[in-house]
Structure 1
Amino acid sequence: MWLVRLLPGMGPPTETPKTGTGKNKIRIKPSTTLPPANVNAKTIVSAHREAISAFHRACGGRVDYIHALFCAIAEHNGKPPMPPNIMAAMLDLTPEDMKDSPCIASEVQLTAAFERMVKPQDNGDNFKEKVMAVVEQQTNRAMHASDEMVKLQPVLARLHEACDGAAQSLFGFFMDLLPEEQSGQYTLEMWNVMVMKSPPTATKIALEHFVDCFRDSMDSSDTAAAIIPVAERHIGYIKDPSTAPPPRKPSPAAAAAAAAPSDWP
């Protein structure tokens, strides 16, 4: 499973003064200003218009998915994840815009964000390797996930109904999809935040939200054929808890991270 490794609230705070438009514009502090523009940015990005459009269609313009893409690009280039306030500025979104659920950016806004990503020293060749290779990968992943979710939605709905949306049960199912050495890296609280995009203390997850977040977490190697038997097994565990194996224990590092103070808004 592809886990988004961005925790909410990262990065320095932003100020949101009132403006005459009735919306709060994001004011980026000097330490987080956007990079200087490349005079050839529009030309460089326009060469990849079709790929950018394909990604926008695949994700439906959802800002959380766009943010995950830009964080993946940063990781690909050895950089830390992009803070949410910078992502909002790149897309020219206001705090009021960001309150929408889901928050949607237009293709024009997405294209402008890519133009702002072009560094002064970038050219067409290195931009393709640094950025567009990741865009293509994430577009393929999103399209694959959407195709597989058509097959998965019925069993995920039955799993959700069986446990009445209990986060603990859904977390156990999700962890069972990961290799044992990876599942120990996560606690319920971490899963709530990182995968379900919910408060760390959430005890129930709405069906639509669970399905959306599950789709977002899927990797190109994840298939309905492999996931459905695991879901069926967990439905059985819920119906007859005596058949369930003991839950996997988180690693000491994961437990310590979960116990740390949360900055969830």
Structure 2
Amino acid sequence: MTQPFIHLNNVEKTFKQNQTTQTVLENIDLDITEGQFVCLLGPSGCGKSTILNLLAGFEQSTQGHIYVDGQRIVAPNIDRAVVFQQAQLFPWLSVKENIEFPLKQSKATAQYIADQTEYYLEKTGLKKFENHRIWQISGGMKQRVALARAWVMKPKILLMDEPFGALDAQTRILMQETLTQLWQDNKTTILFVTHDIDESLLLADRIILMAGHPGRIIDDIQNNLPRPRSIENIAQQQEFIESKKHILEIMRKEVTRMIDYLH
């Protein structure tokens, strides 16, 4: 039997505050194939970001184990890159300098650094802005820089925590298109956190639907909408309509359950 590329086995995460213990994740079992684009979809507070933090090695599970390519995750590593909602960039460096920064910390040759930086400047549409400082560019461009800087190290996994959530609608569409193109070129395994149903159906091969209190997986949806995709060409497709309806029905039930739970 082929071993899954990403394997979460009975993962639980609890946090203690004063004398209270809160279970954030419970009974998380998840296998992901190498090269898949997977969205974690669910409302705020359902543990999506916690799963990313565990996979990144920023935190450790209270129970269960997490493996990537057969190796147990115990700490951060360059094989797992993270892109956050707010771009974590160096404002005193230029766009180009931000992208090449992680390569300069490695043992890469000057030629390799130049070639890879140039490639991702072109792929993300930032070539004309390579000498701009971070404070001189827009929010959407900052996310392009963050995306290029993450991908330039050729990670096995790209972990994305609502990276387009703070962008305006037009910029968000452009970023979704850029991300999809980069993924198709590189086939990096992506785990993408979102609470936007349309975004998940646009981007993902597979949608992991989550609910909270405690955080758990409630559905695993294969998304077979043909690629290439755009909101315009999928919104009228029957599979998109039915998938969105299915997700909304489940989420409405969960919202009702959570309201009852909190009261």
What TM-score range do you get, normalising by the shorter chain? under 0.3
Where is the strand percentage greater, Structure 1 or Structure 2? Answer: 2
TM-score by length of 2: 0.24
TM-score (norm 1): 0.24
